Each structure stands twice: as C-alpha cells, then as structure tokens.
Structure 1
Amino acid sequence: MRVSQKYNIPEPGFGVYFHWPFCRKKCPYCDFNSHVRDSVDQARWSKALLAELDYFARSHPNVPVTSIFFGGGTPSLMSPDTVAQLIEGVRSHFPFSKDIEITLEANPTSVEAVSFEGYRQAGVTRLSMGIQSLRDEALRFLGREHSVSEAIATIETARAIFDNISFDLIYALPDQTASEWQEELTKALSLAGDHLSLYQLTIEPNTGFAGAVRRGEFRIPGDEKSEALFEITQAMCEDVGRPAYEISNHARPGFECRHNLTYWRYGEYLGIGPGAHGRFDNAGLRTASQQFKRPETWLKNVEEKGHGTEVKEALPDPWDRAEEIMLMGLRLTEGVWFKNFERSTGRPIGAFLNHDRLQMLTENGLISIDDEHIWATKKGRLVLNSLLPEILAS
C-alpha cells in the first residue's frame, strides 16, 4: 500500500572503522578476521594504523566524522593509550560531529574490564560487549572464556562508566527450547542498557563448528523453530521499549548504533586495519576498499607502502550500487530512503524497480512503500533474502 507522509530523512553519516585482529583464542562459531598471537607490539601497530588512516584521509574531503568503531578480533586487548592515539589520529584529519559516537567492542572478562575507565577517558562513548549467552553451559559450548557471573559483573562495571552500552547474545542453539530462550532474554533485558544485538547461530565455512556439524556432533534448529524464536525475540524486545531497528539489533529510540546505521544507510566509511572494508566517494565515484586480511601481510605492506590495501576499485555501475543499497537498507525497519538512494546511484529509485513484482509483494504484505522510502514489513523481514531479486528489475 502506498501512503503519503513526510519524514525527517536521516543523513547516512561518515564513519571510521579500525580493525584490531587479535584474540586470546578463536571461538568455534567465529568467521571474523581474528588471529591468536603470543605477543603484539602495540606501539608498532598503532603507528601502522595511523599511517593507513593518513593514506585514506589524504584523498577524502574534510567532512565531519559522525562515528568511530573499534572492532575485531578483540579491541579490548588494546591499551587505553593505543585507543587514545587512534582517536586523536582521526581528530587530526577530520572535524568531529558534536555528538560523535565512538564504540569499542569488549570481552566481558575481569582482566579487560580493568581498562574500561581508561577507554572512557580516551574518548570512547559507547561500549559493546560480546556476552553471547547468560547460561554457563551455552558459554562452554560457544567456547567463551567468561562465566555468567563474570559477564554480569562486567555489564555492571560498564554501566557505571558509560552512558551507552550494548551487548550481544547468540540464540537458536542446538536443543535450545523456547522457554529457555524466553528466560534468558528476560534476564538480558533486565541487565541491558539501551541496546541489544541478538543473533541466531549460523554455521559459517572454515570454522570449528562447521567441522563439528559435518561430523554430526550437533545440529542447529530448523527453519520453523528458528522463525518461532525470532518472533519471540521481536515481541519481547518490543514490549519493553527496545524494538528492532535492524534484523538483529534492538534499541530504545535514539540509542541505535550510529556507526552501523552508516553501513546500512549506505553512507561513507573508511576501513583501517587487516581485512577492513571501506566504502567512500573518490573523484565522484563510489569506491570499495579491502585491506589484506593476514595481520603480518597487512603490517608489512603498511610499513613499506603506507597502506595495506589489497583491493581498491570504483563502482561505476549504478546497478551494482543499487543492489548494495537495497541489500543493506532493507535490513533496517525504516527501509531505504529514496533521497539517499538517488544520491548514491545518480538516478531515482523508480528506474531500478520491477513495478509489477513490487505491486505483488505489497499486496502480499511483504513490502510497504510511500513517497519517501520503501521497507520490508515484519512478514517480509522473515524472508528478506528472497525479496531483493523480486524488487529490482532484471
């Protein structure tokens, strides 16, 4: 159904992402670019990250940074001094927006929680913790080093230091019942700040769990059970004022992760560090970058050439950009804003839509559209991967 309504259309923003690729151990479900090393020379790594930032900043307009994100790996293995140097490095190249969001991902261990006050003094405004479960047996299954009691203590420490905290949970684990998840989520919502990230377990290639599934050691829930758990999650979070603003992310209004919104709204961001991805405008063209994934390869290239870029390519085809925008934006409850779409592709969205199939999707209650944006309904988000080929003209 098409309705007419006026909105305050958000700006996508401009972010800087730093990837810290090191972990104490590799979790069996993780396919992120993370590596275990006996020791890390933080001074050397800080210098290299700053050098790569300088490389990208030289060719980027001097626009305000709306967010900085330290991801990994385990960024809470960085010292507060290292974090402070990187934040000041960004400040030396770009003005900061007055309400800049600076997020750091952290593990919920007492050893790493010691640094929380130092991160706050360094300029971090938001802490995101990888809790993953509030059941000790599930934490053991997921290969986590912390216990539930340690996780709760870390959350309480973070809440005393930061005004804005978030934590992650993984659900739809083998043999997990609906009542177990409801009990766990109830506890999580009582502990949470204003943001929660809730992910269903997926088995990614080349992970420890991929091998375990091949060997028949466990099976993840089927689609019907996973969908039921997803619907429980949406309803419970909405009931306590933390509705989904993205498929797996829930927040009180105003506490959505601004850095991730920049990704989903197809804004610009610089990706600094091993395996980091970037999307930014260069000489009038949307450009994609990807850094070397292996830490030692990236570091060698930065020290020799000033950057560790493996791929840097323009995306001149507006159809490629249209697919990326729709793929990212339809994950959001707000959907895709036509103004942002046209700014990124150079063409109005109507030039890309398959109008006959779009009408069918709206009549079936999967997609809604008005004069300013298009979005997937609650029903549509359950089958989101199948919607994109139907929406865009082939």
Structure 2
Amino acid sequence: MDTLEQPNLTRHASLLPDTGEPGFGVYVHWPFCATKCPYCDFNSHVRHQPVDQERFTAAFLKEMATMRQLSGPKTVTSIFLGGGTPSLMNPSTVAAILDGIAREWNMPDGIEITMEANPSSVEAERFRGYRAAGVNRVSLGVQALNDRDLKFLGRLHDVEDALKAIKLARDIFPRMSFDLIYARPKQTVEEWERELKQAISYAVDHLSLYQLTIEEGTPFFGLHKMGKLVVPDDDQSALLYEATQDITAAEGMPAYEVSNHARPGAESRHNLTYWRYGDYAGIGPGAHGRLTRGPVKLATATERKPEAWLELVERDGHGMLDQEQLGYDEQADELLLMGLRLTEGVDLARWQQLSGRDPDPKREEFLLEHGFIERIGNSRIRCTPSGMLILDSVVADLAC
C-alpha cells in the first residue's frame, strides 16, 4: 500500500496548548452502532429502525442542564463525543449538542473537541458537516490493517475503507487519531511490527494501541471459554507490548499512557483529564462522570439502555441511577489508579493531600528496588516500563 501524502501540520496551532492541569471535560455518549463487534463490552446498541435524533438531542440538552447544576460554573477544556458510533449522528445533531454545552458552561475557542468515527460510516460530506459544527479532532476505529483480521474482529470496513477514512480525516480535521487492536490470535511479533510501522506512516500524531482482551458477556468470551478462540499467552503479550513501546518511541510517538502514543504536544486533552483525575460531566446513556462538590467528588452513572434513559430524562431531567459521594481516601485511590497509567506519573503532594499520609516506605522501597516505579524529583512518582506490565499490582501496593 502506498504511504499517504503527509498533511499540513501547521493547522495544529489552532488548538489551545496543554497547560498540564487536569481541566474540566464534557463527555457525551451516543449509544447506537450499525453492528455489535464480538469483542466489545461498551454500552452500544443496534437498532434496525431509524433513531429519533431530535428526541435524543432534546434529552441530551435536558440532562446537560442538570449536570450544569451539579458542576456549578466551569470552563470546559475538552469535549468528547463517544459511543457507540457518534459518526452515525447527523451533523445538525452534533452542532446542537455543542451549542448546548456552550450555553451551559464557558467554552473557549480552540479547545479540543473529539468525535469517534467508524471507517464504514465515513463520508466526506458528513465529515465536513462535523467540522463545521466545531469538531476539530476525530478518532477512527480502524482496529487492524489487514482484511482477514478486520473480518475476525467483526468490523464492517475493509482496509481500503480505513485508508479512505484516514485520508479524509487528515484533510478535514486539524487533528486525527486511530485505534488498533493487537495480541490477536496467532499474531507474531514480526507481523505486529510490520503492521505498526505501516500504521505510523499513516498517522499524523496520535495512535491508540490496545491489547485484545476477552470481556465477559461478549461473543468472544463464550468462544474463548469453549477453547475455540485462543489469544496470545502472557509471555507473548508482553513481547508484543514491548515491541509496541520500542517501535513507537523510535518513530517519535512514545507512549504517554499505557495504550496511547503521540508526538509531543498531540496528546488527547480529554483523556488526560481522566488520567490526571480532573472533573468531567458524563451525558447520555451509560455515561459516567466525576464532579467535585466541596470535600467530596460525586461519581455519577446513568441508565445504560437508551430508551429507558430517554424516558427517565424526559420525566426527571436526567437519567442518573447512581450518585456516589467519594471521600478523600477513595479519591486518593482513584488518583493513583488513573495517574500511574501516565508517563508523567502522579503528583505526590496531591495524593498526600487527599490521603492524609505518605506512601508506605517499605512498599515504596520494594517497588523502587525492583525497578517497578521511579521518583521524578521530589514531587512525582511514576511506573517504569516494567511496572506498566503489572500496573494493577503496583497501584494496589502503593494504595495500601
């Protein structure tokens, strides 16, 4: 395949720079897909009749007003339209949602506004409509760069569709990213290295690279349980992960988070808000949020079923089923869990302020001696590449 023509990178200057602060994000969940992928456990639903987009838009705006009451006045630093398949929305629906966010909160020009899209639902006219509505970053669910594995993953597009979507995204949006899934059945390190280098030649400045995981409740889970789907074992997965880190770093797109790679300055601002443990409003079916209210952080979760969520919002002004108040200890644990995913690590002073204590010196010394964590000056702590491979265990040790 021919390498795509390089884009004009000067357009990137139109987005505001990352300040390093957690920020405040708004996440909007569009729950509908054309088909359900066999590995996916996201809150996505297939409907064989047209979705009433006007009715759902009105509900998004209504729930948005409730979230604004909970959050208080905020300046939005990023917006993310996720799913599901948001690129099934009409551009007018996207425009109405973004206008609603601007009415509820302060929304400066130049903030990152990301939209997820599937290559099979991409059309130039729709992409231009999303750009006109205000979207300035698109994230494409490519997942593989060979037709055999795309079929295995249940994707509706082929490689030709994927390359067409990548080119359109590069031509129309200031920023673009795409996802790939690796550690697929029988995938060798050599095969993945070739595919990854090919992907980097197509990417502008950001890639999301996820290991295939077998999630309970998915078709893949049943096949795996019956022995009909065999994925790479832990040792092979570790080799694939290490190859991923080596190649992306050598190509100038190092990991800034466990599964996300970017050229310096092109990191996803919205996802950084999650990992830096900032506040965000979650709007739509199955959306989650974190909103600070005095000494507690409110964890919100909405009804997952789209039609049930719609009826709740129309009746009550929101579809929230849960509003859990997280105290300082719980916030400290979440800060560690999220922050240690980042190459920049965790601000120790912030963790100490929330937890009211220092890290256990014996546990910290053990992790330092075995090369799983490292100090960055006196103020930050982060996982090493070895520590990233056992991230959950590192977090558990430090949180005790």
TM-score, normalised via structure 1 length: 0.94
Does the CA-based 8 Å contact 1:203-1:209 persist in structure 2?
yes
The CA deviation at 1:60 is 2.0
Q: SS of the counterpart of 1:296?
A: helix
Find the counterpart in structure 1 of residue 90 from structure 2: 79
2:174 matches 1:168: no
Aligned counterpart in structure 2 of residue 29 of structure 1, from 17, 27, 39: 39
**Cα offsets for 1:130-150 (capped at 9, x unmatched):** 000001000000000000011
Aligned counterpart in structure 2 of residue 368 of structure 1, from 374, 379, 382: 374
Trace 1:313-324 onto structure 2 (pairs within 5 A). 313-316=324-327, 318-324=328-334
The CA deviation at 1:219 is 0.6
Does the CA-based 8 Å contact 2:290-2:300 persist in structure 1?
yes
Task: For 1:287 and 1:339, locate their aligned partners in 2 and report how far apart those are by CA, in whole Å.
Answer: 22
Task: For 1:363 and 1:78, locate their aligned partners in 2 and report how far apart those are by CA, in whole Å.
Answer: 51
2:301 matches 1:290: yes
Find the counterpart in structure 1 of residue 66 from structure 2: 55
Q: SS of the counterpart of 1:115?
A: helix
Trace 1:228-239 onto structure 2 (pairs within 5 A). 228-239=239-250
2:364 matches 1:392: no
Give the total of aligned pairs. 381
Tell me which stretches of 4 or more aligned residues in structure 1 moved more than 4 Å.
110-113
Find the counterpart in structure 1 of residue 387 from structure 2: 380
Percent identity of the aligned residues? 51
The CA deviation at 1:99 is 3.3
**Cα offsets for 1:86-108 (capped at 9, x unmatched):** 11101001112443110000001
Structure 2 residue ranges without an equivalent (≥5): 1-17
Task: For 1:340 and 1:166, locate their aligned partners in 2 and report how far apart those are by CA, in whole Å.
Answer: 31
Aligned counterpart in structure 2 of residue 275 of structure 1, from 282, 286, 294: 286
Task: For 2:55 and 2:45, locate their aligned partners in 1 and report how far apart those are by CA, in whole Å.
Answer: 17
Trace 1:57-206 onto structure 2 (pairs within 5 A). 57-109=68-120, 111-206=122-217
Does the CA-based 8 Å contact 2:299-2:326 persist in structure 1?
yes
Code of the residue aligned with 2:379 in structure 1: it is E
Does the CA-based 8 Å contact 2:29-2:84 persist in structure 1?
yes
Task: For 2:367 and 2:239, locate their aligned partners in 1 and report how far apart those are by CA, in whole Å.
Answer: 23
Task: For 1:32 and 1:263, locate their aligned partners in 2 and report how far apart those are by CA, in whole Å.
Answer: 17
Task: For 2:109 and 2:243, locate their aligned partners in 1 and report how far apart those are by CA, in whole Å.
Answer: 37
2:367 matches 1:356: no
Task: For 1:340 and 1:114, locate their aligned partners in 2 and report how far apart those are by CA, in whole Å.
Answer: 46
Code of the residue aligned with 1:23 in structure 2: it is C
Does the CA-based 8 Å contact 2:122-2:165 persist in structure 1?
no
The CA deviation at 1:110 is 5.7
Find the counterpart in structure 1 of residue 11 from structure 2: none
Structure 1 residue ranges without an equivalent (≥5): 1-7
Q: CA RMSD in A?
A: 1.4
Trace 1:201-216 onto structure 2 (pairs within 5 A). 201-216=212-227
Code of the residue aligned with 2:391 in structure 1: it is L
Aligned counterpart in structure 2 of residue 14 of structure 1, from 16, 20, 24: 24
**Cα offsets for 1:64-84 (capped at 9, x unmatched):** 100000000000000111001
Does the CA-based 8 Å contact 1:76-1:112 persist in structure 2?
no
Code of the residue aligned with 2:161 in structure 1: it is E
The CA deviation at 1:383 is 1.1
Does the CA-based 8 Å contact 1:166-1:193 persist in structure 2?
yes
The CA deviation at 1:9 is 8.0
Task: For 2:125 and 2:152, locate their aligned partners in 1 and report how far apart those are by CA, in whole Å.
Answer: 26
The CA deviation at 1:114 is 3.6
Task: For 2:350 and 2:24, locate their aligned partners in 1 and report how far apart those are by CA, in whole Å.
Answer: 13
Change (3 A) 1:76 1:267: same
**Cα offsets for 1:281-308 (capped at 9, x unmatched):** 1244211000001111110100001100
Change (3 A) 1:57 1:222: same
Task: For 1:260 and 1:339, locate their aligned partners in 2 and report how far apart those are by CA, in whole Å.
Answer: 22
Does the CA-based 8 Å contact 2:87-2:121 persist in structure 1?
no
Does the CA-based 8 Å contact 1:52-1:307 persist in structure 2?
yes
Find the counterpart in structure 2 of residue 3 from structure 1: none
Q: SS of the counterpart of 2:307?
A: helix
The CA deviation at 1:111 is 4.5
Code of the residue aligned with 2:340 in structure 1: it is L
Task: For 1:9 and 1:377, locate their aligned partners in 2 and report how far apart those are by CA, in whole Å.
Answer: 24
Task: For 1:112 and 1:331, locate their aligned partners in 2 and report how far apart those are by CA, in whole Å.
Answer: 35
